[in-house]
Amino acid sequence: MALIVQKYGGTSVGSVERIHRVAEQVAEAKRAGHDLVVVLSAMSGETDRLVRLAHEVTPSPDEREMDMLLSTGERVTTSLLAMDLRGRGINARSFTGRQVGIITDSSHTKARIARVTAERIREALAEGVIPIVAGFQGINERSDVTTLGRGGSDLTAVALAAALKADRCIIYTDVDGVYTADPNIVPTARRLDKVSYEEMLELASLGAKVLQSRSVEFAAKHGVPLEVKSSFKGGQGTLVTTEDEDMERMTVSGVTGDRNQAKITIVGVPDQPGVAARIFGPVAEANIVVDMIIQNVSQASLTDISFTVPRVDLGKAVSLVQRIAKEIEAKSVAVTESIAKVSLVGVGMRSHSGVAARMFEVLSREGINIMMISTSEIKISCVIDEKYLELAMRALHGAFGLDHATS
Ligand code: ADP
Ligand code: ASP
Ligand code: MG
């Protein structure tokens, strides 16, 4: 008998009818003799609705209160599913993040998990009860509610699977696996049978929201066997696992796009030692993750520094940077929101050269200007104008031989 953690995303629990379908699937796995822990997201669109509501009340909502609000979406779906199962004579019980002992730090809206006790889950399993756990939430040491960042129910599932030493963690979603690109943007994308933790981490951090990047990081660190499957149709999905030789055969295994970044440029920065530290130190202290940075060649001892930050942190970043710019006597601060990042990922890049050159050639053939470039051992990213993102993704997908064969 296996212990399986199943996670269902927002679309999979988006209506009463879909909750019934999840209940049937849970009942079936139980009948097959497995021990189950079920993690749920809020109904699709619910977390966005709550975020909008908060911004209608005030332009920059307090982050502690935001977490209190956002955590409610998952309470709705978990209690409904538990009721549904109990109505079918199956013993199930819903739990909040707090009740299952998901303890985090205090970075509200993007808290990191410090430890997981899972006491109540063990008790429920011992009684033969199916625990239905609210994803995306925990509590800090003072028992304030925290949330784990958007898409964080994936992390709840992985963290519980690690704590319980589950045999498998299955992420059920609205696509039947991890594809070579978002199948809703690139119709010729192919499903991957397996993908390495390392590649998946890059894909997820660079925009493939099918898995939250922190959940992949956690799974890799704790060796959690992770699968992505469709919650609507059966069949094979994608296994996220340790790297093997097959994976290296492909130079590029995926193309991603990310619209969640914005660019800040500080114009006319005095070109002196210590200036970069004075800019990026306070930004890091404010918990804002800077992705790409470029510094232009200086003229008359002045330079321009551009960098990207998550769009959600833009307001916070701009007010901080405006203050620093004044202190260091820079000329001005400019903001560009309409940027996007297109990336190629593949462990095969370690042993194949020329991928970057080919990427630039493909983008130039499409008339797409590159604003920023960054590379690592297994990825290349370019920042481009947001309006060309889908065109860039499709062109690169085809040029690197990822399109599925058409019959
Ligand atoms: P859930 O609500 O189940 O958590 P998400 O919307 O978070 O689902 O993630 C699933 C979506 O991820 C898909 O509908 C798809 O549009 C998107 N996606 C982006 N990149 C990829 C990829 N490489 N493979 C599969 N899906 C992807
Ligand atoms: N409901 C949360 C979100 O929309 C968490 C999740 O779905 O994983 O981000
Ligand atoms: Mg998700």
Q: Average of pLDDT values for 125-137? A: 98
* Ligand 1 contacts CB of residue 174 (under 6 A): yes
* Ligand 1 contacts CB of residue 9 (under 6 A): yes
- Amino acid of residue 117: T
CB atoms near residue 149 (< 10 Å): 18
The pLDDT tens digits for 121-130 are 999 999 999 9
For residue 42, the ligand 2 atom closest to its alpha carbon is: 1
Q: Average of pLDDT values for 145-165? A: 98
Long-range contacts of 240-244 (CB under 8 A, 24+ apart): 240/178, 240/194, 240/195, 240/196, 240/197, 240/200, 240/211, 240/216, 241/194, 241/195, 241/196, 241/197, 242/196, 242/197, 243/196, 243/197, 243/198, 243/199, 243/347, 244/194, 244/196
What's the chain's average pLDDT? 95
* Ligand 2 contacts CB of residue 151 (under 6 A): yes
The pLDDT tens digits for 288-306 are 999 999 988 777 889 999 9
* Ligand 1 contacts CB of residue 10 (under 6 A): yes
CATH number reported for the structural domain that contains residue 13 in this entry: 3.40.1160.10
Q: Report if residue 197 sits inside a domain.
A: no
Residue 247 has pLDDT above 70, yes or no: no
The parent domain of residue 69 ranges over 3-174
Angular region, 67: left φ>0, alpha ψ -120 to 50, beta rest: alpha
Q: Residue 407's pLDDT band (boundaries 50, 70, 90)?
A: very low
Give the dihedral sign, CA 188/191/192/193: negative
Q: Report if residue 343 sits inside a domain.
A: no
Whole-number percent of the chain with pLDDT over 90: 89
Out of 150, 153, 182, mutate this one to test ligand 1's pocket (max ligand atoms within 8 Å of CB): namely: 182
The pLDDT tens digits for 31-83 are 999 999 999 999 999 999 999 999 999 988 999 999 999 999 999 999 999 99
Q: What CA–CA distance (Å, rounded) separates 186 from 26?
A: 32
* Ligand 2 contacts CB of residue 47 (under 6 A): yes
Which listed ligand is nearest to 171 at the C-alpha?
1
Q: Report if residue 382 sits inside a domain.
A: no
Residue 8 has pLDDT above 80, yes or no: yes
Taking the centre of ligand 2 as the mean of its atom positions, its distance from the CA of residue 362, in whole angstroms, is 35
- Residues, Cβ < 5 Å to ion ligand 3: 9, 151
* Ligand 2 contacts CB of residue 136 (under 6 A): yes
Query: What's the pLDDT score for residue 244?
Result: 82
**Gyration radius (Cα) of the chain, Å:** 23
Q: Report if residue 77 sits inside a domain.
A: yes
Q: Report if residue 360 sits inside a domain.
A: no
Q: Report if residue 18 sits inside a domain.
A: yes
Query: What's the pLDDT score for residue 296?
Result: 82
Decide: 140 and 111 in contact? Cβ < 8 Å: yes
Q: Report if residue 245 sits inside a domain.
A: no
Residue 150 has pLDDT above 70, yes or no: yes
Q: Average of pLDDT values for 88-114? A: 97
Q: What CA–CA distance (Å, rounded) separates 336 from 259?
A: 12
Count the domains in the chain.
1
Q: What CA–CA distance (Å, rounded) separates 100 from 98?
A: 5
Task: Provide the strand spans (E) within 202-348.
Answer: 226-230, 238-241, 254-258, 261-270, 293-295, 302-310, 332-336, 339-345
Taking the centre of ligand 3 as the mean of its atom positions, its distance from the CA of residue 10, in whole angstroms, is 7
Which listed ligand is nearest to 72 at the C-alpha?
2
Taking the centre of ligand 2 as the mean of its atom positions, its distance from the CA of residue 50, in whole angstroms, is 11
Give the dihedral sign, CA 181/182/186/192: positive
Q: Report if residue 342 sits inside a domain.
A: no
Q: Average of pLDDT values for 270-279? A: 91
Query: What's the pLDDT score for residue 260?
Result: 92
CA end-to-end span of the chain: 42
Residue 13 has pLDDT above 60, yes or no: yes
